[in-house]
A and B are shown apart, each in its own frame.
Chain A
Amino acid sequence: MGEKVTIEIPKELYEKAQKYIQESGGEFKSVNELVEFVLNELLSEEEEETVFTPEEEEKIKQRLKSLGYI
């Protein structure tokens, strides 16, 4: 991810995020990093009703076979 842009969030939310970062024990260095992580995770999510992608479903079926459940 190259170029950066600026986004605006309410100050109150920013302060909450700062508190979260402090309490998370240094896992996130800044609110920027937290916001980027959460957005990435959110946007990589499949549509609500799709739990497994077809590839994942196949992978799990193979695993269940190798585990003897199928």
Chain B
Amino acid sequence: MVRKLLVIGLDCVPPNLLYKEFKEELPNISMLLDDGYKAEMKTTNPPITIPAWAVMTTGKSPGELGIYGFRHRIKGKYNDFYIVNSRYIKTPAIWDVIGRKDLKSIVVGVPPSYPPKPIKGYMVSGFITPGPESRYTFPITLKRTLEKNFGKYIFDVVYRSEDKDRIVEELWKMTIQHFKIYSYLASKDWWTLMMFVEIGTDRVHHAFWGYMDKEHHKYTPGNKYEKIIEEYYKLVDEKIGELLKNVPKDTVISIVSDHGAKRMKGAFVINQWMIKEGYMKLQKSVGQGTELKDAPVDWKNTLAWGWGGYYARIFLNVKGREPYGIIEPEDYEHYRDELKEKIQRIRGPNGEEWKTKVYRPEELYPVVRGDPPDLIVYFDDLYWRSAGTLGWPTMYLKENDRGPDDAVHDWIGVFTLYDPENTVDRKEKRVDIQDISKIYLETILGETDG
């Protein structure tokens, strides 16, 4: 028997907040947790929004999908990159699979979903949509309906700012609008799968983690924004309660995140380390915070360089592959091994040991498609993000080089499944993100072959 499934995607939500710290304050979510199944969700490598949701909805690894982040380097270029969009996903997602069985879906804001693809049902693209003037819905007439009823779609908030009151105001405004739209769409009676991703949970973590987490270096007791993340979760819970009133009683409900979150300890300036270790040369010194693309890199004397982000991507300057490549192809593995080992040994600002992990893409994925970096690096198990800019007085920045940010991503997110008819029989304490599409298909179709 086909079942209706509602997937509530909450970007960046870690289990300790949803299952423990805030649980008592969240009556609607608590009901779903107490009467349903909940697990830790082990996310993907790298634990980044775009690959994570794509892996979850297709069941393929980032290597198979060829998606390693929001952007990829253009082959043979030092500074040019392209933005990942929905057309790079060639594997059918859950809604495509059930669509072949003539079952309809409503998909809202599930990255990467711009441009929206034709599906059986409705699709609204997510936060990488250029703007409300873009064609962000399938079918195109849906955009008009949504705008007439709910105003211009709010795709995101800019949270890297010290104007915290503005961020709070915009976060609430965006989330309230989104949930009105989710509720409106959920009230259609024709869908089998409805899945949406609310990005606000990610934004509230990044903007306010340091105000909440007593271990964070920025935390001060009794600060004005200490309860903002909790208040935001309460808002989401209240809106989920309203949404559930628009959903038939026999609908299976899942709450899921794409990765977890934890406090950011700082940003490590990867390219200054490259210079110090003799892997990179500049023709002259640069001012504080200079972008790599604006820096006078002496490429003919540079062996490797890195990108910033929640994880570092390392590229080697290989002869025949890069315009001024100097590493002979036969020496490629030698340099890659050497860099891997040296990066693993990097210590913290006070000489403390770090739990840095460095991978060759082929160690992580059975197939490596697209444009991966030569090495994937998680500084101190993600506590330190990577800063790609140059010219800083230190390699250890307390603050991110791109403006205030308090949180980094973490490996464990959430996965819950609540069936009012009580058919969920799962015991695993941990679910792998790559297995979730199969679980959803089994839930909807009641079969295992998907």
Contact = CB atoms under 8 A, between A and B. Distances in A.
B83 A68 contact: no
Interface residues of B, number: 35
Interface string A44-66: 11000001110011011101111
Contact of B403 (A38, A41, A64, A66): A66
A66 B403 CA distance: 7
A67 B159 contact: yes
B148 A51 contact: no
A51 B144 contact: no
Interface in A16-59: 24-25, 27-28, 34, 37-38, 41-42, 44-45, 51-53, 56-57, 59
A69 B69 contact: yes
Interface string B300-344: 000000011110000000000000000000000000000000000
A16 to B, nearest CB: 13
A65 to B, nearest CB: 6
Interface string B184-213: 000000000000000000000010000000
B87 A51 contact: yes
Contact of A69 (B70, B140, B141): B70
Contact of A60 (B130, B145, B308): B130
Interface centre among B49, B87, B141, by most chain A C-beta atoms within 10 angstroms, is B141
Contacts of B410: none
Contact of B83 (A41, A42, A52, A67): A52
* Chain B binding surface, main DSSP class: loop
Nearest to B87: A51
Nearest to B82: A57
B85 A69 contact: no
Interface in B94-143: 114-115, 128, 130-131, 134-135, 140-141
A51 B130 CA distance: 10
Contacts of A24: 141, 145
B175 to A, nearest CB: 17
B405 interface: yes
A66 B158 contact: yes
A44 B143 CA distance: 14
B166 to A, nearest CB: 14
A48 B206 CA distance: 35
A28 to B, nearest CB: 8
Contacts of B134: 56
B83 A37 contact: no
B442 interface: no
Contact of A57 (B83, B135, B310): B83
B130 A52 contact: yes
Interface string B404-429: 01000000000000000000000000
A15 B115 CA distance: 30
B83 A38 contact: no
A66 B160 contact: yes
B204 to A, nearest CB: 13
Q: Which 7 A-B pairs have the closest CB atoms?
A: A56-B130, A41-B140, A69-B70, A51-B85, A27-B145, A68-B402, A68-B405
Interface of A: 24-25, 27-28, 34, 37-38, 41-42, 44-45, 51-53, 56-57, 59-61, 63-70
Interface of B: 48-49, 69-71, 83, 85, 87, 114-115, 128, 130-131, 134-135, 140-141, 144-145, 148, 156, 158-160, 206, 307-310, 385, 388, 400, 402-403, 405
